[in-house]
Amino acid sequence: MRLTIFGSGYVGLVTGACFAEVGNNVLCVDIDQRKVDMLKRGESPIYEPGLDELLKRNLAAGRLNFTTDAAEGVKHGLFQFIAVGTPPDEDGSADLKYVLSVAESIGRNVGEYRVVVTKSTVPVGTADKVRDAVKAETSVPFSVVSNPEFLKEGAAVEDFMRPDRVIIGAEDARAVTLLRQLYAPFQRNHERIMVMSVRSAELTKYAANAMLATRISFMNELANLAEDIGADIEEVRRGIGSDPRIGYQFLYPGAGFGGSCFPKDVKALQRTATDAGQPLRVLGAVEDVNDAQKHVLGRKIAKRLGSLKGKCVAVWGLAFKANTDDMREAASRTLIADLTAAGARVRAYDPAAAHEAKKIFQNDNNVHIADSAMAALQGADVLAVVTEWQEFRSPDFAAVKAQLKTPAIFDGRNLYDPAVLKSMGFEYFPIGRRT
């Protein structure tokens, strides 16, 4: 089948590469000529495990192509996927200008029936606006479908190729039949497609992310309480996770959630609810807890060292989570801001996000991006672990201790066993654990 995907960012590129991998002819449209040229060379602008291989293989096979020509894109595909950004507006709502701009382009250039699919995370009612924008430009028949993505950064290719559900929000049978055919290669083991109304599909995406964010913030509050009353949040996590009604997913406390989805989607859903006269008070607390949690590591370090002026802190992990280079809303950024504001210097390392960090901190002389985890320890007083990369899970602790002026580790991801680190002579400051 022939598909066009508007937007070659995180969602659009993964979607295009995965659809091409199962034999579809995919054309990705992006306004950034530099990015398009890069992609045509087989170079991915994002770090995502497995994506580089898909990109190169399907480019070579001719199933995946890139252009800046919107008219060419509209002519190419029966399916017109909208996967452009929806950044937060000043009031927290999702900014739909890019989505509606694509819709207008589709309307201006369409010559025969098309299925317009909103893949971007958009507020309830966006499909109606997309439909109006296309209809204002053409009398050619078309369908509008909501098909939200559920891709975890760091596991997006796997999530797309083996989805746990495919949500299709549509109002006409023709569009549903076509989407079922498109997604058939991903349904071979058992049926994962769920058809619902367009508005229900739009809300499902926000509801899913809000629920997961709520679990994280709740566990972070419990972890802080556990510290104060002498409990161990790891034991509590196992105790409650064994209840099948709760389960173990997203019960790991830490330094706060970040990334391109949870913070933005929580704000957008709050805005939608407020506009509807049904404010979601729980989500307000989720956001407040998360904002506060990002300062916990900095407070622990300041409490242990006293004045941070002239001190140097090594930071392992800059991406908001492992297996991505995404630093949007990352806990590391809050920690580094807290440390440098108090007069400390930072030596940081991340296996994938170094290039992004160098752009973010290029004008900050107090932040140095190191080439390795051990290089980040040079001259450091203490170590803070912020991202749960595999290479941080079992380091050479003797070498780490030898490098640090004060053998103290502040662990924002609870990667280590408190008893083991104590036996090695470390002071250990995890999140919510007995030490």
Sole residue written with tokens 């002519």: 75
pLDDT for 124 equals: 92
pLDDT for 173 equals: 95
pLDDT for 189 equals: 75
Give how far Cα 342 sits from Cα of 326, 367, 412, Å. Answer: 26, 13, 19
* pLDDT exceeds cutoff 80 at 243: yes
pLDDT for 92 equals: 75
Q: What is the CA radius of gyration of the chain?
A: 23
pTM, 2 dp = 0.91
Sole residue written with tokens 């956001």: 287
Give 6-16 pLDDT, tens digit per residue.
999 999 999 99
* pLDDT exceeds cutoff 80 at 66: yes
Catalytic member of 18, 28, 261, 312: 261
Q: Alpha-carbon distance 255 to 385, whole Å?
A: 10
What integer is the mean pLDDT of 334-353? 98
Give 139-151 pLDDT, tens digit per residue.
999 999 999 999 9
Among candidates 234, 354, 263, 344, which has minimal Cα distance to 297?
A: 344
Give 75-96 pLDDT, tens digit per residue.
999 999 999 988 887 777 788 9
In this prediction, what percent of the chain has a pLDDT beyond 70? 100
Calculate the average pLDDT of the chain: 95
Give how far Cα 386 sits from Cα of 21, 198, 342, Å. Answer: 35, 39, 19
Give 12-46 pLDDT, tens digit per residue.
999 999 999 999 999 999 999 999 999 999 999 98
pLDDT for 394 equals: 96
Let me know if 261 is a catalytic residue.
yes
